[in-house]
Amino acid sequence: MFSTDQKLQCATIQYDFNLPERFNITYEGEDGKKHRPVMIHRVIYGSLERFIGILIEHYGGKFPLWLSPVQVRILTVTDKNKEFASKVLNELKENNMRIEIDLRQESIPKKVRDAQLQKIPLILVIGDKETKSKTLAVRTLDGKTSFGIKLDSFIEKVKNDIKEKSIEISFQ
pLDDT digits (tens, 9 = 90+) for 30-45: 999 999 999 998 877 6
Tell me: do 86 and 53 sit in the same domain.
no
CB 43 within 8 Å of CB 76: no
Tell me: do 138 and 85 sit in the same domain.
yes
Tell me: do 104 and 153 sit in the same domain.
yes
The model's pLDDT over 122-156, given as tens digits with 9 standing for 90+, comes to 999 999 999 999 999 999 988 899 999 999 999 99
Tell me: do 108 and 79 sit in the same domain.
yes
Cβ neighbours around 111 below 10 Å, total: 20
Q: Using a cut of 0.85, tell me whether the model's pTM lies above it.
A: no
Q: Is residue 88 part of a domain?
A: yes
Q: Is residue 122 part of a domain?
A: yes
CB 64 within 8 Å of CB 122: no
Q: Is residue 3 part of a domain?
A: no
* Nearest one of 25, 49, 53 to 39, comparing CA atoms: 25
- All residue ranges of the chain with pLDDT < 70 are 1-10, 45-46, 172
- Residue 124: per-residue pLDDT: 98
Rounded CA gap, 132 and 98, in Å? 25
- Residue 70: per-residue pLDDT: 97
CB 85 within 8 Å of CB 101: yes
Q: Is residue 143 part of a domain?
A: yes
What DSSP state is assigned to residue 45?
A: S
Tell me: do 103 and 54 sit in the same domain.
no
Q: Is residue 26 part of a domain?
A: yes
Tell me: do 87 and 135 sit in the same domain.
yes
- Residue 11: per-residue pLDDT: 73
